[in-house]
Structure 1
């Protein structure tokens, strides 16, 4: 008799975006004549930058020639990409990160989910609420929680983000070991200041905790006063792992390329209190379970750092930010309290009603798909998340439909 990992049975009924897809499919089946505009899941809609496409083609051509053919690449990623990342994303901005502290992967979601494997079963975990579901669900699968009760799992410490605190949770009131943070935040679109982030770094240093910092949306930051990396904060190299992605930076959602930074100064502890380098542990896990991102994809990612690639990627993000500004402005004009939409592609809207009810209203009456905030945690109830990832034409059309539906 083959037994299952019963921790999977603790998971709530379905993954949020699977549930959304089912509702949308049911609506489309019932109303095949209706056009749906999707402003829900954070998937990009514009093509890859031209510089990346050309590099992608060159990478494929290299594999067609015996003189330039490559088989298995280094699990940590090709040096040509890691060196560009270290220089442009960190060193140039005053953050000390070396190329050999960067691990190329096929997605920040994967790394966020996999990193928990290298830590003990009984670590105390703090997650924000609202929360990106992967942080929670992967720890449930690993057996670090009890059952879900009233929308929360026993054994986790929830850091509440609310309208009152600007969706920047207070420091934990009880000891924790692992802390998940995400800024610019998914789902709320909130951003964190240097002073606020320093408080988290100081807490981690004082309490020998580790911060798992998801910076997948850092390229949307336009305010120079805001930190784009946790390593811009003094002492963060000792207590933080950072996750980045080319998905939103350059439209690689379907291409799959990301990276995780694990500084060699970052330490964790065994049962006797002896220090161990997190870098070495992650390197072993990465090399054992991952064979690397394909050579053409890494060539395409390298092109993001060319002068052309930088300009083209920025233009893509500028377009999405213009969409976000429009959405926030329109929802505000309709009388809704909003967060995000500035330095972020997400707008977090207080719908003043049940989240799923608001989702259904916009789907049924406006033909627009959003994301119900309740799917991100207890503190998300009453909110929806609207994504700016679509064409300008579709966003304008969607906002017109929403305005008509809500002003009936």
Structure 2
């Protein structure tokens, strides 16, 4: 029989545990009990099941998600017996929530904390410009959300310049990918009027990328107004709550972002008609008032009545001519706007080419062999790869 001192025995146990950890990664699943934070630096709790429990500890900076008693979690780490107390503990390296219930509970805790910090307050939310000229679109190029959003924008306001930042929209790498894209937008130097963050609907777990705490903070800190539309009415994400404007779906986001050009044309025409009617009505009122003054005045004033009539007629004619000129200019601008509508060109059998960021490629100088492109036609978009580039002189 081999005899060990207490210290030697604990060292042997720890060596065995380290060898086990090196041989095969493992995680322990159970329910959180006795959760507490010590001295603002260390998190400790018991992880238990129906028959057993083990103590878990980790530095607070390693805790990526809020915890509370009753949550079911999975802990990856290293087991160790601490010689001073002879107590076995699990030093946690990574904690993963298990089940939708635990995810929702952690999300509720995080949402409450961010709300208390003022990230969702309505007072700091900014309005979107009524007539945006250039926007950054953060979305997956291969998603239905991208197609739906760009289709509605082109139908309503074809003059908008859309720069696509292609990102992952679900999975472990998605939050960081989206954050990098948002940072690139801020640092680009482009005069973006808005940032649009969008994806289609999905399960609660699939949308968790948009419940990332740091992503919500980055959206809150954005110098450019952010419109977020994650495409799920039931579950509103933290990204949407931190954004300046929320759309319920990608299609709704497009409608919130840009006006319908037909409504704008009608509004301009209505305002010009209203101005014309108002000016002519006021001119008539002033002419009537002048006649009354002249008729009620002394006899000498009557000789100026003809001059007043002539002046009024000349003024009215000038106003009518000015209004008619403006009306013709409006009609000309309306025709130009319709002529710039790419959907009208597409309907005649033509197409246009875009790069992976959604920008129109106007010449072969912007193309290279192997480059991915998208061809926009009247009924949809087709992806392609450039094999040959030929210049025509």
TM-score range, shorter chain: under 0.3
Bigger Rg over Cα: 2
- What is the TM-score normalised by the length of structure 1? 0.21
TM-score (norm 2): 0.22
The structure whose residues are more often strand, as a share, is 2
